Structure 1
Amino acid sequence: MRSTLLAAAAAAALLTAAPAAAQMPAPVAPVPSPAQLQWQRMEFTAFVHFGPNAFTGAEWGSGLEKPAIFDPKALDARQWARTFKAAGMKGVIVTAKHHDGFCLWPTKESTHTVAASPWRGGKGDLLRELSDAAKAEGLEFGVYLSPWDRNHPQYGTPGYNDVFVRMLEDVLSNYGEIFEVWFDGANGEGPNGKRQVYDWPRFHEVVRRLQPNAVIFSDAGPGIRWIGNERGEAPITNWANFDRDRYLPGTPLSMDLPEGSALGRFYVPGECDVSIRPGWFWRASENARVKSPRRLLDLYEASVGRNCTLLLNVPPDDRGLIHENDVKALTGMRTLVDRVYSTSLVPAGATATASSTLGGETDGFRAARVLDADLDSWWAPAGEARTGSLTVALGAPVTFDRVRLQEYVALGQRVSLFEIEAEVDGRWQRIATGTTIGHTRIVATAVTTTSRVRVTIHDARGVPMIASVSLHDTSRGRDVVPADAVAH
């Protein structure tokens, strides 16, 4: 049902966005699936690393931990979900199984699970509680299953792939719609330890069969790719296009991953993963080292603002709650993002004109479309032009230091070179240049005051399709969140 709805929504968007008198620009391959497009528009999601490590203080568990150590006596998945929703996140991905092999649901495929713990009297199922909480708060639900398993006796043998497939089938069949399945390539105990040859085609087939609308994350995709670091920062040039068949999870070619490629044959947008704390799992010693709201805003700009989504890890503590310092930081971040980016400084009476317009300004893909709030409407230049310019007349001087540009990427990412100018004292002055735009590009400029802004597309892979041009001022948040709101 959801697959049909996604496809219908994508088709409807194309039809409603296209003026009757205008010729729709041809797709420029590769193009996103409806699920990929919906995923990109989520922009900001939560990662939850939780398990025995929250009680031992380890970053990577050994697999030798006694299940009895897992006993979060105040666990409240609704508190997690409410926190994430209040922060502006659109979904949550949980470590259903991390490298230590401990399973947060009572699978029959392992003895190292919540069923062997004292939590909920051995009757608990964290995936059930969190999936229900996410649904109640309107969040999408996703899962991370590490293929590495430092506890399971079959790891390192051909039979382990069968075990892992059955675990996947269990998780993907029993917890409702899954929006993302997260894999990494972690493998083995070192040069003399166990190593498993993972059957990735089989794993992917299970996901496609049971959750056809889920996007699959790994170094190689196939749905979305790692951005190549755990700092939460994408490169300034960032193509969703990618030659995914050159890579496998855990690839030694991770230097290739960040920028993608204008020549890439598949649409595989990037995801930026980073933790709100120094480590991925909660430790009491890091309670004073939670990233500040200002730092989280920087990460938002360096991920969402560079054609990626931001996957921010927020690990519950040993009580089973999101710690108050993390909540405070997320609240401050949401305040900053709202103050700076929820609305454009372009006034309601502003007008937009273009060097040319596909279909003409009356009935075509007119310039005014870049000023509405609809990402399914856009401006395109006339004919087969791969260049063109937009001029926004603000009516009165506006001061800003960020320009947000957005392409309509449903028919392919296109722009490869652009320039932004402001009219100052009657003369146009360049204030920024850039390469890719994609779903969203946030461009930092010097503090600029002007009544006219011009965006020029100098090169593109096809007819450029610009959905939005907006102006923003980061100083609008400086008096909202104190510098000491949370630590570093």
Structure 2
Amino acid sequence: MSIWVGIFLLFVLRTDGRSSRYHRYRISPLTGERIALPTPDQLEWQAQELGVLIHFNMATYVEQHDACPNDLVPSTSRFNPYLLSTDNWVQTMIDFGAKYAVLVAKHNCGFLLSPTNVTFPLNPSGEVVPYNYTVNYSPVKGVDILDEFVKSCYKQKIQTGFYYSTVINNYLNVQNDTLKEGQLNITQQVYTNIVLSHLRELWTNYGNLEEICFAPGTLDTIAKMLAELQPHANVFGGSDVTANSIRWIGNELGHAPDPTWSTGTSSGGGDPNSPIFCPAECDTTLQVFDRWFWGPHVLLRPLPDLIDVYHRTVGRNCLLMLDLTPDRSGIIPPEYANRYKELGDFIRSCYGSSVRPSIQNSSADFLTYMLVFNAPVSVDRSVIQENQTRGQVIRAYTITVLIAITKDQSEWTEVATGTSIGNKKIDLWKKGTLLVRAVKLNITKTVDVPVLKSFTVHLCA
């Protein structure tokens, strides 16, 4: 089971319009349609394109495929990352090309990767006890892994975030009435207070967070805490509590639909007519069989599969959040690190530079963009990026080319069509590699004057 399942059980999207108080839109002077407006924090987040979701917690030390199933509460003595190095994690992020990293601070077992000052009363005795299912009660006592993680990322200018699972906490017996070994008995209200107290610690002790994932307890309380402690954080599924909301794509395969819009709050491809700007995040695993935490003898997804994931996520206006899985020693296994780097190397070699035109121009109405080359060039794909500062406005486009070897030297041949562009749209041309003299982007439908960030063409092995 992935971490996202629990959060969505509580994050049922509201339909009463409440979220609109956090979001802005404008009216198009051309069509009169509503155009959702992004926040600067959303645009900065969306432009990163690549991130990692770090699954390293008590579930790393259990054999089951699911993370801490069946009310399992493993002893804190099992958590012993004797080679722990968050600098090692960050080196792998750099090799992959990740610009941000979200670490699972607490998962289903209830184990917390940082010390905590939270105490709570047991039910029914009322005895007040500390939350002692943490790293401070493990063989690596005295190490705040969250702090180590943030410092390592800060040195390399990688943005950070935390995930905190609220729906399941085996240690506190949230799901069942019958106590099992290692579990404590508390009331639901006490549990809510613990969650809010933990979130306050996470949002206070580790600087500015770029992304946070949580489930809300009390919406008004959460909204106030965010505004007070992390006003610039982008919140996964948080359209009810902040303007800086991002949404789940709806699957864990690394496959965004085409089109995927930057607007709308439901999972999946979004809604071009929504007044809420809420870009999508695509989370997926490096290991096969939807395995999120490191597991012994688990195979890795082959590089061609991961390259396809890149094109189906980043290439479809969705951020790719790839699972990063330290092993039980606390480092990234060499074969894992190699696969991350292989994917990063492909992205850099394919898209790090473009086939440069001799002339680049656009029409007076900004509906046509042309790339002209001095000599014929071989190209097999194109990349479009829309400037969304005033919202996502392009609704449809085509790409045509002048083929170098053809009877009619003035005939434009269509090689790609699409609808949503947003932060980035990559089109692998349906005719494959072509020798061309010019390439043209034709915007065929828009709700306002379009503005591009870039339009480039590439040839990739």
Please report the TM-score for the alignment, with normalisation by the length of structure 1: 0.77
- Residue 389 of structure 1 corresponds to 368
- Residue 204 of structure 2 corresponds to 173
TM-superposed CA distance for 1:27, in Å, is 11
Structure (1 or 2) with the greater helix fraction: 1
| Residues 293/114 of structure 1: CA separation in 2 closer, same or farther (3 Å cut) | same
Query: Is residue 427 of structure 2 the alignment partner of residue 436 of structure 1?
Result: no
- For 1:282-431, list aligned pairs within 5 A: 282-286=294-298, 289-347=299-357, 350-357=358-365, 381=366, 388-424=367-403, 425=406, 426=409, 427-431=411-415
TM-superposed CA distance for 1:207, in Å, is 2.4
Distance in structure 1 (CA, Å) of the matches to 2:110 and 2:441: 52
Superimposed CA distance per residue, residues 69-113 of structure 1 (whole angstroms, 9 cap, x where no aligned partner): 101111111110111122211111100011211100011332211
| Residues 128/261 of structure 1: CA separation in 2 closer, same or farther (3 Å cut) | same
Query: Is residue 447 of structure 2 the alignment partner of residue 457 of structure 1?
Result: no
Paired residue type of 1:234 = A
Deviates more, 1:269-278 or 1:221-230: 221-230
Paired residue type of 2:419 = T
Counterpart pick for 1:76 among 68, 85, 88? 85
Distance in structure 2 (CA, Å) of the matches to 1:91 and 1:107: 25
Query: Is residue 171 of structure 2 the alignment partner of residue 151 of structure 1?
Result: yes
Paired residue type of 1:441 = K
Distance in structure 1 (CA, Å) of the matches to 2:213 and 2:59: 19
Distance in structure 1 (CA, Å) of the matches to 2:434 and 2:219: 50
Paired residue type of 1:167 = H
Unaligned runs of at least 5 residues, structure 1: 1-22, 185-196, 245-255, 358-380, 382-387, 476-488
| Residues 146/444 of structure 1: CA separation in 2 closer, same or farther (3 Å cut) | same
Secondary structure of the structure 2 residue equivalent to 1:462: coil
Does the 8 A contact of 2:34 with 2:275 survive in 1? no
Give the number of equivalent residue pairs.
393
Does the 8 A contact of 1:165 with 1:206 survive in 2? no
Query: Is residue 258 of structure 2 the alignment partner of residue 239 of structure 1?
Result: no
Distance in structure 2 (CA, Å) of the matches to 1:257 and 1:241: 11
| Residues 156/57 of structure 1: CA separation in 2 closer, same or farther (3 Å cut) | farther
Does the 8 A contact of 1:63 with 1:102 survive in 2? no
Distance in structure 2 (CA, Å) of the matches to 1:429 and 1:156: 67
Secondary structure of the structure 2 residue equivalent to 1:470: strand
Counterpart pick for 1:127 among 133, 143, 146? 146
Superimposed CA distance per residue, residues 28-78 of structure 1 (whole angstroms, 9 cap, x where no aligned partner): 631111111110111101110111111112332134111111011111111
Paired residue type of 2:85 = D
Does the 8 A contact of 1:27 with 1:412 survive in 2? no
- Residue 194 of structure 1 corresponds to none
Query: Is residue 134 of structure 2 the alignment partner of residue 113 of structure 1?
Result: yes
Paired residue type of 2:84 = L
TM-superposed CA distance for 1:447, in Å, is 1.8
TM-superposed CA distance for 1:354, in Å, is 2.7
Distance in structure 2 (CA, Å) of the matches to 1:283 and 1:460: 48
TM-superposed CA distance for 1:423, in Å, is 1.1
Distance in structure 2 (CA, Å) of the matches to 1:310 and 1:215: 15
Does the 8 A contact of 1:418 with 1:459 survive in 2? yes
TM-superposed CA distance for 1:431, in Å, is 0.7
Does the 8 A contact of 2:59 with 2:67 survive in 1? yes
**Percent identity over the alignment?**
27
Superimposed CA distance per residue, residues 388-440 of structure 1 (whole angstroms, 9 cap, x where no aligned partner): 21221122212122110010011100111100001122111111110110010
Superimposed CA distance per residue, residues 187-206 of structure 1 (whole angstroms, 9 cap, x where no aligned partner): xxxxxxxxxx9324423432
- Residue 182 of structure 1 corresponds to 213
Unaligned runs of at least 5 residues, structure 2: 1-28, 119-130, 173-183
Distance in structure 2 (CA, Å) of the matches to 1:182 and 1:44: 17
- Residue 49 of structure 1 corresponds to 55
Paired residue type of 1:111 = N
Please report the TM-score for the alignment, with normalisation by the length of structure 2: 0.81
TM-superposed CA distance for 1:465, in Å, is 1.1
Paired residue type of 1:128 = D
Paired residue type of 1:443 = D
Does the 8 A contact of 2:237 with 2:246 survive in 1? yes
Does the 8 A contact of 2:35 with 2:393 survive in 1? no
Does the 8 A contact of 1:28 with 1:411 survive in 2? no
| Residues 154/30 of structure 1: CA separation in 2 closer, same or farther (3 Å cut) | farther
TM-superposed CA distance for 1:473, in Å, is 1.9
| Root mean square deviation, CA, Å | 2.1
Distance in structure 2 (CA, Å) of the matches to 1:220 and 1:329: 35
- Residue 136 of structure 1 corresponds to 155
Does the 8 A contact of 1:208 with 1:214 survive in 2? no
Query: Is residue 106 of structure 2 the alignment partner of residue 97 of structure 1?
Result: yes
Secondary structure of the structure 2 residue equivalent to 1:449: strand
Distance in structure 1 (CA, Å) of the matches to 2:348 and 2:207: 31
- Residue 35 of structure 1 corresponds to 41
| Residues 154/171 of structure 1: CA separation in 2 closer, same or farther (3 Å cut) | farther
Counterpart pick for 2:292 among 280, 301, 317? 280
